[in-house]
Each structure stands twice: as structure tokens, then as C-alpha cells.
Amino acid sequence: MATIDGRPAQYGVTLKQLRELMECRGHEGVERIQTDFGGTLEIARKLYSSATNGLTGNASDLEHRRETFGSNVIPPKPPKTFLTLVWEALQDVTLIILQVAALVSLILSFYKPPEDEAGGPEVGHHDEGESEANWIEGAAILISVAVVVFVTAFNDYSKEKQFRGLQSRIEGEHKFSVIRGGEVQQIGVGDIVVGDICQIKYGDLLPTDGILIQSNDLKVDESSLTGESDHVKKGADVDPMVLSGTHVMEGSGKMLVTAVGVNSQAGIIFTLLGAAADEEEVEAKKRRKVSLLIGFLETKTFEHWYSRSQL
């Protein structure tokens, strides 16, 4: 049998079981822990962890846990390139109508009617001046559109770059207290794995899902996940489930990490929100196409009316 750090490579509990367990709340969670797993300490034993000493901190053990249960990282959406932002800025219906109008103006400025329709010399001279003015107007519109598009794209690109830099710095500086090898250590939240024993206290933003092993007058603000403004009292015998993305408002405690990253409740919500945002973007593109068609028809109607009015 394969071993990792002197213990079996197969855990006594699966990722799916832990995810389903963390969906329970209140007394339902207490009952599930007791009936399905035999208690929180038994879950820790199945994860080859100790409520007192935590994990050993062995590198191969930590890496195996990341491979099995995932890393405590929620991968961000890939950043948009500058050209992508330029293309998105060009999708504005108003700008599209302006571009169409500019192209029509440019085409008409280079159109010269036959001599027999042009009239006398004075009329021909007047038409030349008008066509030159149309050419300048069309070019000016296109230049204005280009300036607006590039300024918009540059601003969006700068904002996204600053936001990602700030996010990376916050993630790198955010430390959390865990017990490894019997000692309390401050490690980056991205290094926390399933099976870690974390110490939580007033003011902490919880980085993972977990089950309380012990607590002292612990109250948590779960409004970021549930929308409920009231602080929720937590305890090993009352409501032992603590979730990532929630704030500790009172008390302290110690928890066993059961889900990290995309497998945590916050990670699942972020994943669903990302899928919903993609669907919303598709719908927005459809609406833009309809608006573009309406705008094009309005432009052609005006062009047809203007041509008939000159006859």
C-alpha cells in the first residue's frame, strides 16, 4: 500500500463527502457529524490530523493534500488584453452609429454625379466645396470615435491592472494562525490545506470552510454568504460549521479545515457567479446586436429620406 509521510495515501473521507457535509447548518450539521462520521475528532483522524498537534508540516504530505482536496486558491478570470478592451469599447451602439454615419459621409464625399446632372459651373464649384466639407466631417467623426475608444480601453486596462495588483498584494500579505507539528505558525492563506487546525479570533476573515473543535463565545457575521445581518452564534454542539468569506465578530475558537478554494462554500458561489456572468454577457451581446440592427435601419431610413428630399 502506498504511503505518504508514514501513513496511508488513502484518506478515510472523500472530497465529495466533505463538500456535502459543509452544506449542513445548525443542529443538522451536528447530527451529520455524529451519525455519518462519529464526531469531529474522528473526521480529523480520517484526515490524518490531530486536534492538538495539527499536521506534521511534511512537504510531501501537504502536496498530496493539495492534489486530493485542492489548493486554497480561487483562480481569477484571465485578464482581458488591451485589444479585447478596444473591441468591447467599439461595441457601443452610439459609436457604431457614428462610424456608419462617418463612412456614409466619406463615401458620398467622393461621389461625383455625371456632368449632365451636375448643372452649370457655379453649381459644380458649389458641389466640390460641399463634398470637401463632407470628407472633413466624416474624417473628424472617425477620429473622435477612435479617441473615445482608445481612452476608454486605456482607462479600463489601467483599472484592471491596478485591481489585480492590489488583490495579489492582499493575498500575499494575508496570514493566518495554524497548528503544525504542535506549534502555532503564521502562514499565507494560500498555503492552508484540508486537515489543518486553524486558530480563529475576533476580527478574522475566515479563509476556508471548517468544523469547530472548540470555541469561546464565538459569533460570526455570515451576511456575505447568506445575506442575514444578524451575527450567528457558533459552537461545537450548536452550529459547528464555519465558512470561508465570513467574519469573526466575537470570541475565539479552533477549527478543522474541511474545504478550501473552489471546493469551499464561497468558492462554489464564486464559480456559479462566474457562470452567471458569462450567460449575462452572452445576453448583453444579443441585445447589442438588436440595438445595432435598429440603429442601422434608422440610419438607412434617414439616408433614403435625405436622398429623396434632394430630388
Dist CA 49 CA 62 (whole Å): 12
Buried b (16+ CB within 10 A) or exposed e, 32-61: bbeeebeebeebbbbbbbbbeebbbbeeeb
Q: Which pLDDT tens digit goes with each residue over 40-54?
A: 999 999 999 999 999
22 φ/ψ sector (left φ>0, alpha ψ -120 to 50, else beta)? alpha
Residues in the chain: 311
Cell of 277: 456572468
Which sequence spans correspond to the domains of the chain?
3-72+192-263, 73-177, 268-311
The C-alpha cell that represents 192 in the structure block: 492552508
- The pTM assigned to this predicted structure is 0.65
**Do residues 97 and 295 lie in contact, with contact meaning Cβ atoms separated by under 8 Å?**
yes
Higher pLDDT, 221 or 94: 221
List the grid coordinates of 120: 452649370
Q: What is the pLDDT of residues 63-85, one digit of tens each?
A: 999 999 999 987 777 788 888 88
pLDDT of residue 243: 92
Q: Return the sign of the alpha-carbon dihedral for residues 133, 137, 140, 142.
A: negative
* Mean pLDDT calculated for residue range 23-48: 92
Using pLDDT thresholds of 50, 70 and 90, give the confidence band for residue 118. very low
Dihedral class, residue 251 (left if φ above 0, else alpha if ψ from -120 to 50, else beta): left
Q: If you average pLDDT over every residue of the chain, what do you get? A: 80
Q: What does the block give as the cell for 258?
A: 474541511
* Cα–Cα distance measured from residue 83 to residue 108, given in angstroms and rounded to the nearest whole number: 31
Helix/strand/coil for 184: strand
Q: What is the dihedral of CA 219, 225, 226, 229, to 10 degrees?
A: 50
Closest by CA to 13, choosing from 43, 38, 40, 49, is 43
Cα R_g (the chain), whole angstroms? 32
- Do residues 25 and 243 lie in contact, with contact meaning Cβ atoms separated by under 8 Å? no
Q: Over 60: is that where the pLDDT of 13 sits?
A: yes
Question: How large is the average pLDDT for residues 135-145?
Answer: 79
CA distance 188 to 112: 72
d(C-alpha 42, C-alpha 35), whole Å: 11
Look up the CATH number of domain 3-72+192-263: 2.70.150.10
The span from the CA of 23 to the CA of 235, in Å, is 16
pLDDT higher at 294 or 5: 5
pLDDT (average), residues 113-138: 56
Alpha carbon of residue 56 to chain centroid: 34
258 burial type by CB count under 10 A (0-12 exposed, 13-18 middle, 19+ buried): buried
Beta carbons within 10 angstroms of residue 296's beta carbon: 14
